[in-house]
Structure 1
């Protein structure tokens, strides 16, 4: 069965927020990557400020829960406002399960990123369901 984790989006202060959460929950970041680490994409240019923002951070806060987050904004997420800045992240146990969950959750909703292989190694997609809930679905064969 899949696992579910909260995914928090910030408007430029993700690193500050996650350092705070780390002080509360303890533990260590298992990953903290910046937008500067993304491969170049045609038609996308980032300012030096945007390059330094957090692309993804993971902080285990329990034996089965990882608090995850990123900075958003700019052209890639202009609709983000405080209040709709949380997603439910599902990590599937197989590519087939990821597709099944994504297809089911997107029924009647809006897909913002179709399921596809990504540069960070996950099979990943994002959507907002018909009830306005943001979902991120992923599968990583190497994590099995």
Structure 2
């Protein structure tokens, strides 16, 4: 069965926020990727290239706190209520497809399920009740 992980969106303050969260929860970042390190990073301003595309901090044995800087130049506008998503980490590609299809019925697909450049099968949607979801299957996960 899928696990649920919180995913936060920040207006350019992700690194500051996660330095704070690391001081609270301890541990080491599992991931810290900047926009400059993405395939489209060279199309962004120098300031945006240094912002955080993805960060993950383990905060327990089964929970990752994750986040990104939501860039207005990429079409994001943060308002209270859209600054987080629930991420489902699935055990199979089929489970990802089933959950994505069920949650998006009557809602809105914002990124169809597809192979992502970081190696996961990934998609995003907003369900009929306005909750944002990210569905992810890691092809390289340990069995």
Q: Which runs of 4+ in 1 moved over 4 A?
A: none
**CA distance in 2 between partners of 1:70 and 1:83 (Å):** 15
| Cα-Cα RMSD | 1.3
| TM-score, normalised with respect to structure 1 | 0.94
Residue matched to 2:76: 78
Residue matched to 2:117: 119
Residue matched to 2:21: 21
Residue matched to 1:39: 39
> Contact 2:70–2:77 (CA<8 Å) still a contact in 1?
no
> Contact 1:73–1:80 (CA<8 Å) still a contact in 2?
no
Between stretches 126-135 and 75-84, larger displacement belongs to 75-84
Residue matched to 1:89: 87
| TM-score, normalised with respect to structure 2 | 0.95
> Contact 2:121–2:137 (CA<8 Å) still a contact in 1?
yes
Instruction: Show structure 1 runs of 5+ residues with no match.
Output: none
Instruction: Show structure 2 runs of 5+ residues with no match.
Output: none
Residue matched to 1:9: 9
**CA distance in 1 between partners of 2:55 and 2:27 (Å):** 13
**CA distance in 2 between partners of 1:123 and 1:63 (Å):** 23
> Which residue of the other structure, out of 134, 139, 142, is the alignment partner of 1:141?
139
